[in-house]
């Protein structure tokens, strides 16, 4: 206990000295993409200092660029960052998804090659899972990888590929045995995006943004060294990666150091829109709704933390599906409330008639309609809970 108290004191002092004011509260969080230039000075300073400390990925081994913190020390760091509202210095698919997966399933060569680059913000990843005819039934995927001696040749298509236009590498599920039962003929591979056989086409969403893409593979090449796990066992690796995404250590730090990833607290939005009465939201009906949301959001973060604390390997198992369902529905509730609080100005679409903040509120409201679909639809998550948490029959 004395050692943890000493670590807390040292961490608090280090954060006070090294976390710039511009890295506290809402703001940009780098993802490591070589295609994005970091323009905010404080964000860059914070990233460099956290890389040197190993705290971009605090719970990873020091040999791979991490901080080597055990679970107790990591949680103290999360608490101290939350106390001063310090943003994570680095986020993205590298830290939250493929990194933890390689720690669990990767070869030593794969770890040495990829993990330090992720920790040092030198690479960003995207996810090649969904296909036009394989969304909720992901195991029916048809993108093929054929053995060509020292490499695999990949042909097919992925869709809804978040950030593919900015990513340097992709982790991808491919079919390597078309004659095996659909769950058994899938492999998990790593693939460089900047090669002639990969084409990325952005998908414009109703929100006006294009974070998702169609990705086409025309004789794309993946090295034999970039097969993760055994051939035809990729379904196991791919499922575990999704658990890291939904409630791993990196998900914990994002939740604990932000308002669920949202830029402004709902209470502040309500006070700004409706006014205050003795420090409270003036409208009692909205006051009750906002209070209920804030309490539920806080309860979710506490539940996520408890699940990680109680898990043996840092990332819980099927219980992550519960968090995914609840968090996505909570995000939608938050944005519904935020838009209603603004009245007609909460649904702005005309750039000439609405402020940038009002337009962003509308974009957020539209974008989060998809929260209960992406990362595995809520219906799929309920099936997982039924089978693997409650033990119900098929």
d(CA 240, CA 340): 38
- Is 245 noted as a catalytic residue in this protein? yes
Phi, psi of 328 (to 5 degrees): -65, -40
Give yes or no for a contact between 249 and 315, defined as CB atoms under 8 angstroms apart: yes
3-state secondary structure 154-199: EEEEECCCCCCCCCCEEEEEEECCCCCCCCCCEEEEEEECCCCCEE
Give yes or no for a contact between 213 and 165, defined as CB atoms under 8 angstroms apart: yes
| Cα 182 from chain centroid (whole Å) | 27
Q: Which of 221, 242, 232, 225 is nearest to 104 (CA)?
A: 242
Radius of gyration of the chain (CA): 22
Q: Which of 145, 323, 312, 136 is nearest to 234 (CA)?
A: 145
- Among candidate residues 80, 131, 245, 358, the one labeled active-site is 245
- In total, the chain counts a number of residues equal to 394
Q: Which of 107, 111, 16, 22 is nearest to 63 (CA)?
A: 111
Give yes or no for a contact between 28 and 40, defined as CB atoms under 8 angstroms apart: yes
CA dist list (Å): 168 to 50, 121, 194: 22, 12, 7
d(CA 334, CA 264): 11
Strands 151-158 and 198-203: unpaired
The position carrying tokens 């369902």 is 325
d(CA 314, CA 318): 13
> Dihedral of CA 335/350/374/392: which sign?
positive
Q: What residues act catalytically?
A: 245
């Amino acid at each position: 206990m004395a050692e943890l108290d000493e670590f807390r004191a040292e961490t608090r002092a280090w954060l006070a000295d090294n976390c710039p004011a511009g890295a506290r509260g809402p703001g940009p969080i780098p993802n490591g993409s070589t295609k994005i230039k970091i323009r905010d000075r404080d964000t860059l300073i914070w990233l460099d200092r956290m890389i040197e400390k190993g705290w971009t990925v605090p719970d990873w081994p020091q040999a791979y660029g991490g901080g080597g913190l055990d679970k107790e020390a990591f949680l103290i760091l999360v608490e101290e960052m939350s106390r001063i509202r310090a943003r994570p210095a680095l986020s993205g698919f590298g830290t939250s998804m493929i990194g933890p997966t390689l720690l669990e399933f990767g070869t030593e060569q794969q770890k040495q090659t990829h993990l330090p680059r992720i920790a040092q913000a030198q690479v960003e990843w995207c996810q090649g899972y969904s296909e036009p005819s394989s969304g909720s039934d992901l195991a029916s995927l048809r993108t093929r990888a054929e053995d060509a001696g020292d490499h695999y040749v990949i042909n097919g298509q992925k869709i809804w590929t978040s950030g593919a236009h900015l990513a340097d590498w992709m982790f991808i599920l491919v079919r390597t045995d078309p004659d095996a039962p659909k769950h058994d003929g899938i492999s998990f591979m790593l693939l460089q995006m900047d090669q002639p056989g990969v084409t990325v086409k952005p998908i414009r969403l109703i929100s006006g943004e294009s974070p998702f893409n169609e990705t086409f593979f025309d004789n794309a090449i993946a090295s034999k060294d970039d097969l993760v796990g055994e051939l035809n066992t990729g379904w196991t690796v791919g499922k575990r990666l999704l658990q890291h995404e939904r409630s791993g250590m990196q998900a914990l730090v994002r939740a604990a150091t932000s308002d669920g990833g949202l830029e402004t607290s709902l209470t502040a939005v309500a006070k700004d829109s409706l006014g205050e009465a003795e420090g409270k939201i003036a409208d009692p009906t909205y006051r009750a709704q906002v209070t209920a949301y804030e309490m539920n959001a806080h309860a979710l973060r506490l539940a996520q933390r408890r699940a990680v604390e109680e898990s043996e390997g840092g990332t819980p198992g099927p219980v992550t599906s519960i968090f995914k369902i609840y968090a996505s529905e909570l995000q939608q509730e938050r944005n519904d409330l935020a838009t209603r609080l603004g009245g007609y100005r909460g649904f702005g679409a005309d750039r000439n008639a609405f402020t940038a903040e009002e337009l962003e509120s509308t974009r957020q409201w539209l974008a989060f309609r998809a929260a209960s679909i992406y990362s595995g639809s809520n219906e799929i998550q309920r099936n997982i809970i039924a089978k693997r948490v409650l033990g119900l029959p098929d």
